[in-house]
Amino acid sequence: MEYRSGKAVKPGVRGKSAKVWIALVIVVVLLGGSLTAGFLYLQDMQGLYSGLLRVRNTFSFFVLGKKPHFYALILEKNGKDYRLSSRDFFEVSYRDEFVVKEVVTDVLFGGGVSVDVDGLGGKDDFGKLLKGIDLVDKTVMADRKGRASIKPGSFTILVKYKEDLIGSIPIRVQITPQDWLRYARSSRNQKVQIEYLKKAIAMNPGDSNVRRMLAALYLNAGMTGEAIHQYQEILVLKPDDAEVMSELAKCYLKAGRYDDVIRISTRTIKTNPKDDNAMTNMALAWSRLGNWNKAIAAYLDALKVRPDNPAVNFKLGEAYEKLGQLGKAVEQYRLVLEKVPKADHVAVALADILLKMGNFDEAIRWHKEVVKRQPKNAAAYANLGLAYGGKGLIKEEIENYKKAIELKPNDPVIYFNLGTAYEKGKRDQEAIRAYQKVVELKPDDPDAIERLADLRFKSKHYGEAAPLYEKIVKTSPRKAAIHGRLGFAYAELKKHAQSVENYQKAINLGAKDPQLHKNLAQAYSQMGKTKEAIPMYEKLASKKPTAEVLNVLADAYMKEKLYDKAIMIYKKLIEMNPKKAAYFASAAYAYGLKGDSDRQIEYYRLSLKFDPEDADVYASLGAAYEKKGLYAEALKAYTDAYELNPDATQVARKIPQMKIRIIQQKQKR
């Protein structure tokens, strides 16, 4: 308790009285100031009103204990002062820096008053240097899909007295195209970068540089159509931009729009006749369209402008190679290697084309160079094997295939080539193992299956060959040669029906080998189908009338009792070999079956003229004489037969019989 004028005064009463008196003094001062201002500036009635209002508010705060009122903030932004009330807003961009310098309220000396800039600083940001870029970043991150360039009300400056909010000023964060560009550059996410750049373009559609950046991003992201659209938009803004036209041509190439590549490249060259990139793009388009002549012409034009471009030399070499002009291709590849000796892909291309040309010595030299540079290049070892194979160096060929397989153990092509090398070296069992590996890696490889089947066929393992051939004809039913081999395999397996079926298919598919007709005829014969066999033998005889074929045909005619046809064939055989006794004997036999005994006797006698030691012909001649009743002639023939073959019992019995017949014949006379 304090004492004043000898009287004790309670501290609370004294403090309250002090506040009242202070408030009255302030009110008087403010009222005096307001009235003076009002009388001096009668035209500013609003100012008078504001002054009176403030006097009332101050009185309410100090005397009545109500919340103080907020009137204004004094801020400095980029070196310039701004006075803002609750009716105003504060605009800020990423370049701005600002500080709250003063807060105008009912509170004397600002005790208990704090300023909180929402989104920045701490609880009290009074007097602190703040940066607009932080608010811009927060705005973008809060809503990356911003709907407008300026976002009012996103953040607020809050003025508080103790814990009570007494005022606020909205902050308008200004987002510019440069902001989106800045965010795009700072992000590593392509999708986000694209999103930011699209926003920048939406705010400034005429910015060709940003469109360029967006187009490049689209292209890298594989969004070729979107990239094309951006480059097209740039050309609307800058129709003669050769660089953009060149990039657009690359996009068209990637999209497979080759006619558009040629069109835009032609336009580029009209703008700049020395643009070798446009010529190269045009050449690439022509090559993709398969027009190698025009591609070559465009590459040559590009080299006239820039002769020291090894990339174009290489592409020109590829074009020459496609056109079959291998010598010119080699020339281009050599030029590239002179300029860029370490261009391994060009060394590979040169080595491969030399192999293709059959220049095995140089191909070996270059492939050795390739494997020296790339010791793990399986393809180079495989091609080195091919080159050695071309020179007939089978040992070296096999060695290099094996090295290739060590590097690439699951490549069926290398195993196949190894199998062919083993075959050339007469190492069939090793070849079989190589082809089996091919089939293991690539079960439907028709070439490997065929080689494997042929090796089984060659070794007479027809039971193993037949299923392999069947597998081939399922996928390639028009391979006549396979059907022919399959027919033979089935014939050897005594499966004559399957044999006939496949021989017939081979012939129907155009197989020209006369042996097929013979094999088919034999298969029919083995099935007992002589009628079906005869047409095959006839075709065979018409194409290749050998003695063997004619004999078989004659036998077939005899089986079918076509004696006239058989006799005709025997006569052809006699013409081919007029001293062959057996042909005369066969013809005689046919005449006999036909019932023409005179001709039968004639031809038996002609047969004996060329082979007088044939006991069987004598016996047959005796039978022919006997049939005609010429017993004396028959006796002589049987006697000659018996003398040549005393073991012929049937002939021996005929001799006494003929003697009796002769006696009986004389008695009748």
Contact 105, 121 (CB under 8 A): no
User: pLDDT band at 543, cuts 50/70/90?
Assistant: confident
Provide the pairing of β-strand 97-105 with 70-77.
antiparallel
CA dihedral angle for residue 408, residue 411, residue 413, residue 419, rounded to 10 degrees:
80
**Cα 300 to the chain's mean position, in Å?**
30
Contact 584, 606 (CB under 8 A): yes
**pLDDT for position 50:** 62
Provide the pairing of β-strand 113-117 with 80-84.
unpaired
Residue bearing the bigger pLDDT, 293 or 40:
293
User: pLDDT band at 2, cuts 50/70/90?
Assistant: very low
Burial (CB count within 10 angstroms: exposed 0-12, middle 13-18, buried 19+), residue 377 = buried
**What is the sign of the dihedral through the CA atoms of 551, 556, 560 and 564?**
negative
Contact 64, 97 (CB under 8 A): no
| Mean pLDDT, residues 178-206 | 77
Tell me which amino acid residue 356 is: K
Give percent of the chain with pLDDT exceeding 70: 88
**pLDDT for position 11:** 43
Contact 93, 176 (CB under 8 A): yes
Residue bearing the bigger pLDDT, 581 or 112:
581
CB neighbour list of residue 513: distance below 8 Å, 6 or more residues apart: 484
User: pLDDT band at 40, cuts 50/70/90?
Assistant: very low
Which residues lie across from 76 on neighbouring strands? 81, 99
User: pLDDT band at 6, cuts 50/70/90?
Assistant: very low
Please state which of the ranges 441-450, 534-543, 566-575, 635-644 shows the lowest mean pLDDT. Answer: 534-543
| Mean pLDDT, residues 494-521 | 88
Kindly report, residue by residue over 319-331, the tens digit of the pLDDT.
999 999 999 999 9
Kindly report, residue by residue over 60-93, the tens digit of the pLDDT.
776 677 889 889 999 999 989 999 988 998 988 8
**pLDDT for position 13:** 41
CA distance 227 to 219: 6
Tell me which amino acid residue 433 is: R
pLDDT at 154 over 60: yes
| Mean pLDDT, residues 338-358 | 93
pLDDT at 342 over 60: yes
Token reading at 92: 């800020």
pLDDT at 12 over 60: no
User: pLDDT band at 450, cuts 50/70/90?
Assistant: very high
**Cα 358 to the chain's mean position, in Å?**
29
CA distance 497 to 476: 21
**pLDDT for position 314:** 95
Backbone angles phi, psi at 562, to 5 degrees: -95, 70
Q: What average pLDDT is seen over the chain?
A: 86
pLDDT at 9 over 70: no
List, in sequence order, the alpha helices (H) in 41-170: 45-62, 132-142
pLDDT at 589 over 70: yes
CB neighbour list of residue 563: distance below 8 Å, 6 or more residues apart: 557, 590, 591, 593, 594
Contact 309, 317 (CB under 8 A): no
| Mean pLDDT, residues 508-534 | 85
CA distances from 252 to 19, 292, 370, 460, 666 (A): 84, 19, 35, 59, 116
Contact 113, 103 (CB under 8 A): yes
pLDDT at 136 over 90: no
CB neighbour list of residue 36: distance below 8 Å, 6 or more residues apart: none
| Mean pLDDT, residues 625-651 | 92
For 457, other C-beta atoms within 10 Å of its C-beta total: 20
**Helical packing angle, 514-526 and 496-508, nearest 10°:** 150
**What predicted TM-score, i.e. pTM, was given to this entire model?**
0.59
Contact 119, 155 (CB under 8 A): yes
> Would you kindly state where each structural domain of the chain is located, as residue ranges?
2-62, 70-175
| Mean pLDDT, residues 15-21 | 49
| Mean pLDDT, residues 527-540 | 84
Please state which of the ranges 146-155, 293-302, 413-422, 528-537 shows the lowest mean pLDDT. Answer: 146-155
Write out the DSSP string of 151-202: EEEEEEEEEEETTEEEEEEEEEEEP-HHHHHHHHHH---HHHHHHHHHHHHH
**pLDDT for position 403:** 96
